Structure 1
């Protein structure tokens, strides 16, 4: 029966559809494009955008060259929430030579809605417009674009230009108010709005912004009243309705928000903002699949909208789809606040996904800006901990704690403050209680970090076991356990824990790095190499893996080309990451391959033109190539990009000194001080240039200013003492150092005072001071290390050896102490000198200075072949080390290889004044 009845029904439906189509064709065909255009204009006046779109498309179907229809269609599409479609129609209207006065302002608003503030500024900022209204409209959009880019000065100028074109222009006044609010002057912003609303009470956008400002000041009721007033003036004002709904969501009034959303859908069901609000509501209800569906609808229309991208990232994060979250958040990051939610969630996503290096790369650029943000400080603590930097992690956990110790909801912070104060029993008890009750891991990590910092490895292991119960699948747990077991010298247990971490995540770099370190200690570089190869096999985009392979190749004697190849693989895998590009520039600069460094710098700037660290590295390469003009231009760009940084001016001063333009150097140092009035580098530089010019009084003034700025620190007195020492005014230098020692103490001041006493000719008082200092500060290794170096410089090798032996007793595995003891031991004919040098090279292999010491000693012992090979390896690692090259030449002469010795000496001779011992080189050349 169903089959029989369905056939006539189908035929009837088909006939009806055909009839309807014929009727539609008949109606459309009977109206002229001009009539359709007029009907569309009437619909637009009534805010009936849907009807306008239909009529305009019908008109264009008959005549595609109707420029006005293209323009009006763009207006209708933009009002209906389709900026991408609006842009297409505006471009077509441009091709048809429609009025620039009308197209340009509307195009600017369209691009802003699509999140393309940069395009507005680049393409439209200088557009010549004749009418005052068009100029005011465009300049207002340009102001908004600059505001989105966090460029308040340029935004202010644009709003001023809009008001100059059309005094009292309401959107520009609103922009000025928004600008004041962005700068923190909320009362001033409200004054501007109230003035505008007094003259124009139906200015619905002003009512909405007033609501936003009242909301920011904590007046929720006043904000809601202002939002309601906005939609009362204009019932279909989407932004006003959205503001009401956002406040309802903020107050967790989900039912009211759902009703508000239903109201919005009555007049803007397909608008991108509606999809965004739908996604927000679903997200807050924790219906993440529905939230994902809604946000995808929004991003189809406005794929570059930063808020949409950010919310999409949050949704994917909650769905544990971390790679997708990363994609969205990385796109949102440059267009959202520097310390906004995109960065925070992206860092958390990297930590959860076992990519702590990426989290570190994101947190490092903002570390100087989070001192008042306890949550970001705590997040930084977690990042450093996951990267194995326990001490730094502890510092950031403590900073987070210090900001809100009285907040009952943050007992972790309070416990960390108690730790900092020394109340360890209370602190650890509180941390243990919080960690036990908290399903998250912040308290656990703070507790573990505190134990590890104090080398309390058994309590740390107990805390790690508690964290394992919460997060048994987290590789961080096992990496922390391995770290604690290493502290207890349980190498086998540590290896097992690190391997457990890698079993959970084969690309988890910290565990691989720890195992590789153990392999290197066991003299198994091939095993270490396999660790990192396994990481990049699992994660072909692992920057850390490639860079670790490069470093390992360098440490095991690899040639520059081999190391560069590995770094270039990291660049190819992650072209937008600065770390591998910086490593490549650093590699070439370290090998004195200036041309290669320049090329790497140019490539890096081309790929990442707005990264400060890349510009700095490129500038250093240009400076090394003595291309001072280009280097100055690069640092000029960095100064424009980061006007709050003293670094570019410090670098420019350094370049000007190298170019022998000391007045320009002084000017740049003063600019650095304008940016950062307490910059020690700038102050030190100014002082040295003043001394160089014979302006002693001015130099002392700088030192006195530092003393005022840092009354509890020794640095100002060090500056004053250094200034007097440069003039060989020893009594004044000694007096300054003594005040510094009294005010702040410390080994640096003690060393300066000892040197000044000795330089003044009062050796007995210097020796007496040194003996007294060491008696009171027996564990001060820095001062003793200084004394050893000072004795070496005086060729008092016996005294130097005595100090180095004391240091070696305290630090038997210190390769630097061993190397230096080997060198002075050779001068005193110590039979253990060679043994010290061998041990230094075993502990830290492939260090050119240590290889040089060992090679010299081997040569003295008659092991010529091994000595020459060590010299060659050392020079491959440090081709710019002229001292090693001279020692190598001596060894070659002794071995009878005079031709090769001549080549080495000629290379050093080319350095001229850059190598101070040219007389010795000339003497050796004469003997060939």
Structure 2
């Protein structure tokens, strides 16, 4: 045995025991007043940790000592623990400690926690007694308003702070921040200089100076300013943070690491320290360390937008997409609309083969991305993965025009060349980029371009190249299937879609494509099973749940059944607007206004800031006749979307319905200020001017449209319509003719023909029609109009002639067949039922088609089938009064007088809203 070592250990153990005994005696015997004084000394020395330990010892003995609570809150705040500081400061306030000391510090604590609204809600009206305290609190209130983008209130708060204490440097600093946020950097600098003159070592002012220099691109000057801050206040965390961010932005990882080590010496456990460590590790691709640090940050600050965003980025880079989704969805409402959060969330959904979810995240910002080439390109990928090829191509092209020199970079240039018409060069460039790049942006742009041009064989070659890069991506096989559908190779398309589902059974786009093929083959049960297969793997797939609901609705399911299925989609994703919009829309289509209102109220309660939800709620309120509430809802929507004309157009519509036409006119004029070339607003203004007899003013609007859109038909159409509304047929015809010289389109040709007929110039009208059809033999729209006008004149032979000519070119056109069937029925043509049967086969479950066939069957004496068809048509379109009248007639022919009276009574209640009341009255008299 080693005697010396044993003796050394024994002595060391004895000393440790003695120290422990002395410490216990000291703690037990030291009075709270002495420990409080010691804590204050530590605070003066900026030793916040030691101060906190002493203060906690005090509070063990005297938990109701208000001053100790206050000082502990202060120590925790300055030591980087704002969460703990808030708890202690609130306790100090409850213990009636001086409000002049507690309240300003509490306000600053809440700001550090990212709670500006709590500051303004709780403390903005608090009255304090000393000028210093008032100035301090009002400055924090100003900062809180500034963080909420309420500039006018922030300005008032800073001004009040300066009234309380003139030349108060932090308030001048706040005003400088406000000026900087407005883009007035010279004004901000002047205020900043005034603050620094008053307090040369005001670290906040020096910090802001660095921020301004950084904003102006003076990185060296900014870095010098931040380092000056640390000379004044070495522990000042924002300066450390700014320096570290700049070093990371310049990829100076070694220097950033050293700066982080300095920060850890002063604030090792501060949430911002953990965040910066996470950023540093993330940039070094040390994802394990990054994850550990960001979790520590979120432990202190679980609602941190930047922390949640970075956590999502980390999980995205390690391909943990569900975890990335959870973080990013939580961060999304707390970050700017076009932040990296939204971009990465969309990309995460695309990588995880969930394009429907990606589209849901993209849609709310589509009106904000016109000048963002990267978002436009991302939108192209989203639409392509969702099978919307034309939209995909449009967004790829928009991205290219904005950023032709930055590619994805030759990809963008190639898309520009495509737009210019130089397609050979464009396709060659895209193919070269795609073949030499491991990424897929060029491949997707190339595929979209070929598919838009219906160049299916070339698209298939591009898809084959993409498959080599991503053989196990269901998108590749879904794109191939979509292309094969374009080639009408249904069997091969099925195989491709099935391959996509084999790779990922929850891949909705492929399931939807297969379901469409099943429905075309009259196999609705098979279609339903496709979506049930998706749900077996992904029970909360909103698209699949809504698809099942849609299939049930098509199959004649009751409102309750369909609503129940949509309800499952809402339960699966309460914050997704799509199922809520589907439920509101379904109720409105069924005229179940009360249910629509309830659904809308629930949707607004959950998603009060979603524009589409407010729009749907406004429509429900309008349908219910609650015009005041609808106007209030659209007022909120207008405030939410000040750059959108939609809420103003909706308000005008409601004001017209409530007979407040002057208010409607004002709303439409406001819409024009938002969008000066809004045809909807211009048309509405014209209609109101004409209604008021102000033809001259209406024509001014029409000619403004012509000026704005000289190569479009709309301006000439509006001018002609204005004249036609006053039966000024010659002037109307002149306007339409002028338009045809500029824009020879079917719409204006049809209107000119109608104007000539209206003016009694039948021969000229027929001559024009003959000439037009000779020059435009494939103008089906004009020929259809000729048929409809002939029908209105009861020229059934002339109408039948036009419909038969249309059928020669389009033998499967159900609408034309339906029209021909009705005309043939009026002519007692025995082929009428044949036409109607074919139309019904081509377009099943269409109320208008079913009605035509039923009326013809009724005339033939087949009352049983006619009744069945009319009953089904009425179930599908309960608001179709003419179908209800025909149903009542069928019931009478079948001898079911009681049932017929019930239907006729419903029609009678409509009064002037149903023009065939005379016939209804006659039928009721005959009962």
C-alpha change, 1:577 and 1:122, in structure 2 (3 Å) is: farther
Please report how far the alpha carbon of residue 168 of structure 1 lies from its aligned counterpart in structure 2 after TM superposition: 3.9
Question: Contact (CA 8 Å) 2:138, 2:160: kept in 1 or not?
Answer: yes
Query: Who is 1:770 aligned against?
Result: 769
Inter-partner Cα distance in structure 2 for 1:139 and 1:641: 28
Please report how far the alpha carbon of residue 12 of structure 1 lies from its aligned counterpart in structure 2 after TM superposition: 7.8
Q: Tell me the TM-score normalized by structure 2.
A: 0.94
Q: Which moved more, 1:723-732 or 1:617-626?
A: 723-732
Inter-partner Cα distance in structure 2 for 1:140 and 1:795: 80
Please report how far the alpha carbon of residue 746 of structure 1 lies from its aligned counterpart in structure 2 after TM superposition: 3.4
Correspondence list, 1:428-827, <5 A: 428-827=427-826
Inter-partner Cα distance in structure 2 for 1:471 and 1:132: 68
Please report how far the alpha carbon of residue 481 of structure 1 lies from its aligned counterpart in structure 2 after TM superposition: 0.8
Inter-partner Cα distance in structure 2 for 1:877 and 1:344: 42
Query: Who is 2:260 aligned against?
Result: 261
Question: Contact (CA 8 Å) 2:570, 2:580: kept in 1 or not?
Answer: yes
C-alpha change, 1:159 and 1:720, in structure 2 (3 Å) is: farther
Query: Who is 1:392 aligned against?
Result: 391
Question: Contact (CA 8 Å) 2:93, 2:99: kept in 1 or not?
Answer: yes
Q: Which moved more, 1:849-858 or 1:251-260?
A: 849-858
Query: Who is 1:306 aligned against?
Result: 305
Once the two structures are superposed, residues 448-488 of structure 1 have per-residue CA deviations (whole angstroms, 9 ceiling, x without a partner) of: 11111111111111111111111122111111011011112
Correspondence list, 1:60-209, <5 A: 60-186=59-185, 188-209=187-208
Inter-partner Cα distance in structure 2 for 1:770 and 1:432: 49
Q: Which moved more, 1:909-918 or 1:463-472?
A: 909-918
Question: Contact (CA 8 Å) 1:135, 1:162: kept in 2 or not?
Answer: yes
C-alpha change, 1:918 and 1:121, in structure 2 (3 Å) is: farther
Please report how far the alpha carbon of residue 504 of structure 1 lies from its aligned counterpart in structure 2 after TM superposition: 1.7
Please report how far the alpha carbon of residue 792 of structure 1 lies from its aligned counterpart in structure 2 after TM superposition: 3.0
Inter-partner Cα distance in structure 1 for 2:341 and 2:724: 52
Once the two structures are superposed, residues 402-433 of structure 1 have per-residue CA deviations (whole angstroms, 9 ceiling, x without a partner) of: 11223365111111111122211111111111
Question: Contact (CA 8 Å) 1:754, 1:770: kept in 2 or not?
Answer: yes
Inter-partner Cα distance in structure 2 for 1:875 and 1:175: 67
Query: Who is 2:412 aligned against?
Result: 413
Q: Which moved more, 1:791-800 or 1:11-20?
A: 11-20
Once the two structures are superposed, residues 548-574 of structure 1 have per-residue CA deviations (whole angstroms, 9 ceiling, x without a partner) of: 111111111111111111001111111
Q: Tell me the TM-score normalized by structure 1.
A: 0.94
Q: Which moved more, 1:290-299 or 1:259-268?
A: 259-268
Question: Contact (CA 8 Å) 1:482, 1:494: kept in 2 or not?
Answer: yes
Once the two structures are superposed, residues 530-555 of structure 1 have per-residue CA deviations (whole angstroms, 9 ceiling, x without a partner) of: 11112122112111111111111111
Inter-partner Cα distance in structure 1 for 2:748 and 2:588: 33
Question: Contact (CA 8 Å) 1:567, 1:583: kept in 2 or not?
Answer: yes
Please report how far the alpha carbon of residue 900 of structure 1 lies from its aligned counterpart in structure 2 after TM superposition: 1.2
Determine helix, strand or coil for the equivalent of 1:261.
helix
Please report how far the alpha carbon of residue 897 of structure 1 lies from its aligned counterpart in structure 2 after TM superposition: 1.7
Name the structure, 1 or 2, with higher relative contact order (CA <8 Å, separation 6+): 1
Determine helix, strand or coil for the equivalent of 1:507.
coil
Inter-partner Cα distance in structure 2 for 1:147 and 1:719: 47
Question: Contact (CA 8 Å) 1:116, 1:304: kept in 2 or not?
Answer: no
Inter-partner Cα distance in structure 1 for 2:71 and 2:765: 89
C-alpha change, 1:272 and 1:385, in structure 2 (3 Å) is: same
C-alpha change, 1:35 and 1:398, in structure 2 (3 Å) is: same
Inter-partner Cα distance in structure 1 for 2:96 and 2:594: 51
Inter-partner Cα distance in structure 2 for 1:870 and 1:638: 43
Q: Which moved more, 1:484-493 or 1:510-519?
A: 484-493
Determine helix, strand or coil for the equivalent of 1:724.
helix
Please report how far the alpha carbon of residue 609 of structure 1 lies from its aligned counterpart in structure 2 after TM superposition: 2.1
Inter-partner Cα distance in structure 2 for 1:54 and 1:520: 73
Question: Contact (CA 8 Å) 1:808, 1:818: kept in 2 or not?
Answer: yes
Determine helix, strand or coil for the equivalent of 1:731.
helix
**Mind listing any 5+ residue stretches in structure 2 that lack a counterpart?**
none
Inter-partner Cα distance in structure 1 for 2:425 and 2:40: 74
Question: Contact (CA 8 Å) 1:479, 1:511: kept in 2 or not?
Answer: yes
Question: Contact (CA 8 Å) 2:309, 2:327: kept in 1 or not?
Answer: yes
Please report how far the alpha carbon of residue 711 of structure 1 lies from its aligned counterpart in structure 2 after TM superposition: 4.5
Question: Contact (CA 8 Å) 1:415, 1:431: kept in 2 or not?
Answer: yes
Q: Which moved more, 1:882-891 or 1:383-392?
A: 882-891
Please report how far the alpha carbon of residue 658 of structure 1 lies from its aligned counterpart in structure 2 after TM superposition: 1.8
Once the two structures are superposed, residues 37-84 of structure 1 have per-residue CA deviations (whole angstroms, 9 ceiling, x without a partner) of: 333333333332212211221221111112222222222222222222
Please report how far the alpha carbon of residue 400 of structure 1 lies from its aligned counterpart in structure 2 after TM superposition: 0.4
The RMSD of aligned alpha carbons is: 2.7
Query: Who is 1:221 aligned against?
Result: 220
Inter-partner Cα distance in structure 2 for 1:734 and 1:783: 16
Once the two structures are superposed, residues 210-229 of structure 1 have per-residue CA deviations (whole angstroms, 9 ceiling, x without a partner) of: 33333333332232222223
Query: Who is 1:882 aligned against?
Result: 881
Query: Who is 2:243 aligned against?
Result: 244
Inter-partner Cα distance in structure 1 for 2:687 and 2:422: 45
Correspondence list, 1:334-373, <5 A: 334-373=333-372
Please report how far the alpha carbon of residue 708 of structure 1 lies from its aligned counterpart in structure 2 after TM superposition: 4.2
Please report how far the alpha carbon of residue 515 of structure 1 lies from its aligned counterpart in structure 2 after TM superposition: 0.5
Please report how far the alpha carbon of residue 584 of structure 1 lies from its aligned counterpart in structure 2 after TM superposition: 0.7
Query: Who is 2:317 aligned against?
Result: 318
Determine helix, strand or coil for the equivalent of 2:244.
helix
Please report how far the alpha carbon of residue 246 of structure 1 lies from its aligned counterpart in structure 2 after TM superposition: 0.7
Please report how far the alpha carbon of residue 388 of structure 1 lies from its aligned counterpart in structure 2 after TM superposition: 0.9
Q: Which moved more, 1:618-627 or 1:521-530?
A: 618-627
Q: Does 1:275 align with 2:266?
A: no
Please report how far the alpha carbon of residue 124 of structure 1 lies from its aligned counterpart in structure 2 after TM superposition: 3.5
Question: Contact (CA 8 Å) 1:855, 1:868: kept in 2 or not?
Answer: yes
Question: Contact (CA 8 Å) 1:555, 1:845: kept in 2 or not?
Answer: no
Query: Who is 2:35 aligned against?
Result: 36
Inter-partner Cα distance in structure 2 for 1:149 and 1:790: 60
Once the two structures are superposed, residues 436-458 of structure 1 have per-residue CA deviations (whole angstroms, 9 ceiling, x without a partner) of: 11211111111111111111111
Q: Which moved more, 1:388-397 or 1:649-658?
A: 649-658
Please report how far the alpha carbon of residue 578 of structure 1 lies from its aligned counterpart in structure 2 after TM superposition: 1.1
C-alpha change, 1:190 and 1:751, in structure 2 (3 Å) is: farther
C-alpha change, 1:294 and 1:882, in structure 2 (3 Å) is: same
C-alpha change, 1:259 and 1:847, in structure 2 (3 Å) is: same
Determine helix, strand or coil for the equivalent of 1:27.
helix
How many equivalent pairs are there? 927
Once the two structures are superposed, residues 467-513 of structure 1 have per-residue CA deviations (whole angstroms, 9 ceiling, x without a partner) of: 11111221111110110111122211111111111112211111110
C-alpha change, 1:842 and 1:142, in structure 2 (3 Å) is: farther
Inter-partner Cα distance in structure 2 for 1:844 and 1:113: 63
